[in-house]
Amino acid sequence: MKFKKAFAGIGLLMAGALALSGCAAEGGADGDGGGDAEVVQQEFPEGSTMAALQADGKITIGTKFDQPLFGLADASGLPSGFDVEIGKLIAAELGIPADSIEWRETVSQNREPFIQDGSVDIVIATYTINDTRKEVIDFAGPYYVAGQSFLVPAGNPQGVVGDPGPDDLADIAVCTVVGSTSEQNVRELNPREVITVDKYSDCLEPIRTGQADALTTDNVILAGLVDQNEGEFEVVEGTFTEEPYGIGLQKGDDEFRDFINDVLEQAYDDGSWASAWESTAGTVLPTPEPPAVDRY
Ligand code: GLU
C-alpha cells in the first residue's frame, strides 16, 4: 500500500522474485487474489461467438506470462493479475468457469496473429487500442488507461525523465519489446540506442549489466517489475503517452465486441471491476476510475 503514494509521486522501489514458465495452462486458481466471478447461464443468439463458446464450455485467452500485477504465470503456468481477472469476468458471463479457461502466453508481437489465426479467442494483455491494430483485429474496451514511462536503476543515475523532449534521450540506451507501441513511441524520441527483446522481463538483465540505461513501456508494467525486484529499480515520474488497454478479438465480430463491452460496463457498475483491480494491480497502484468503453 505504501507504494500507491510512491507511484503517484516520486517513483518505486520494490519486492519479490517470481517464477515464470509455461506456454499454456488451464485453470482458475486465484493466485494474486480475486474471487472467481459467479458463472452465469444466459441465452445467446444462434450462430454467435458467445453461443459457440458457451456450447464449448471453454475459452482460450491470450495474456502475458511475465508481467507482475497484470499477467504473471506461476510455476505451473497459471497466470494471475488484473488482465487475468478481466478474462474470468468475461468467461463467467459466457457460462464458463475460471477453471475451464485455457490461458495461452502471448508476447507483444504475436497478439494480432494469434487472434487472426484463431490460436486464441481473445487477447487481454496490456494491449493498447490503436488504429494500426484495428486494421486487422477489433478491440472491446478500454478497461484501463496506462501511460509510457521508464524503469531505471534505483537512484536514476542517468537522470532519465518521464516526459522527454527531443534531445533528452540522446545519450540513453533504452530496452523495450518488439511489436509494442512502446518501441514505436520511443524511436520517435531518437534515443542513442534501442535494444529490442521479446518480453519486458528480458530487459532487466541488460539494465543490470549496464548495456541498457532504461526499460521503457507502460508505467503499470514497470511498477510490477519494480515490485518484483526489491530495491533494484525505480520508475521515473511522468508519462509521455496514453495507452488505453483493450480486449483484442477477431475483426468484424461486432456482436461479440458489444457483448464484451456490456460485460465491462456491468463490471464497472457492480463493483467487480474494482474488486479485480484491488486484488491484483491495486496491491501496488492506486485505484483509478474505469474509463468509458468506446463503442466505435
Ligand atoms: N501497451 C503497449 C502495447 O500494447 C505496451 C505494452 C505491451 O507491449 O504489452 O504495445
Q: Indicate if ligand 1 lies below 6 Å from the C-beta of 218.
A: yes
* The total number of structural domains that make up the chain: 2
Distance CA 40, CA 241 (A): 37
> 43 in a domain, yes or no?
no
Specify the ligand 1 atom closest to the Cα of 64.
9
What distance in angstroms lies between residue 107's CA and the mean position of ligand 1's atoms? 9
Specify the ligand 1 atom closest to the Cα of 108.
8
> 44 in a domain, yes or no?
no
Give the pTM. Answer: 0.90
- Grid look-up 480475486 returns 34
Whether residue 126 sits in one domain with residue 88: yes
Whether residue 132 sits in one domain with residue 185: no
Whether residue 216 sits in one domain with residue 110: no
Whether residue 248 sits in one domain with residue 140: yes
Whether residue 155 sits in one domain with residue 139: no
Whether residue 142 sits in one domain with residue 85: yes
> 120 in a domain, yes or no?
yes
> 38 in a domain, yes or no?
no
Condensed to tens digits (0 to 9), the pLDDT of residues 167-181 reads 999 999 999 999 999
Number of Cβ within 10 Å of residue 47's Cβ equals 9
Specify the ligand 1 atom closest to the Cα of 182.
5
Whether residue 140 sits in one domain with residue 55: yes
Taking CA atoms, 106 is separated from 77, 137, 157, in Å, by 13, 15, 33
Whether residue 81 sits in one domain with residue 128: yes
Condensed to tens digits (0 to 9), the pLDDT of residues 95-124 reads 999 999 999 999 999 999 999 999 999 999
> φ, ψ for residue 276 (rounded to 5)?
-60, -40
> 64 in a domain, yes or no?
yes
- Check residue 94 and give its pLDDT: 98
Q: Indicate if ligand 1 lies below 6 Å from the C-beta of 108.
A: yes
> 25 in a domain, yes or no?
no
> What order of strands is seen across the sheet that includes strand 101-105?
24-26, 101-105, 59-63, 122-123, 243-250, 137-146
Distance CA 164, CA 166 (A): 7
> 173 in a domain, yes or no?
yes
Whether residue 219 sits in one domain with residue 153: yes
> φ, ψ for residue 27 (rounded to 5)?
150, 170
Specify the ligand 1 atom closest to the Cα of 243.
1
pLDDT at 53 over 60: yes
Pick from 239, 111, 135: nearest CA to 185: 239
Whether residue 263 sits in one domain with residue 135: yes
* Closest residue to atom 10 of ligand 1, CA basis: 180
| Mean pLDDT estimate for the chain | 91
Question: Could you give the angle at the alpha carbon of 33 between the alpha carbons of 228 and 65, nearest 5°?
Answer: 50
Q: Indicate if ligand 1 lies below 6 Å from the C-beta of 201.
A: no
Structural domain for 226, as ranges: 148-235
CATH of the domain at 102: 3.40.190.10
Task: Say if residues 116 and 202 touch (Cβ distance below 8 Å).
Answer: no
What distance in angstroms lies between residue 217's CA and the mean position of ligand 1's atoms? 7
What distance in angstroms lies between residue 108's CA and the mean position of ligand 1's atoms? 6
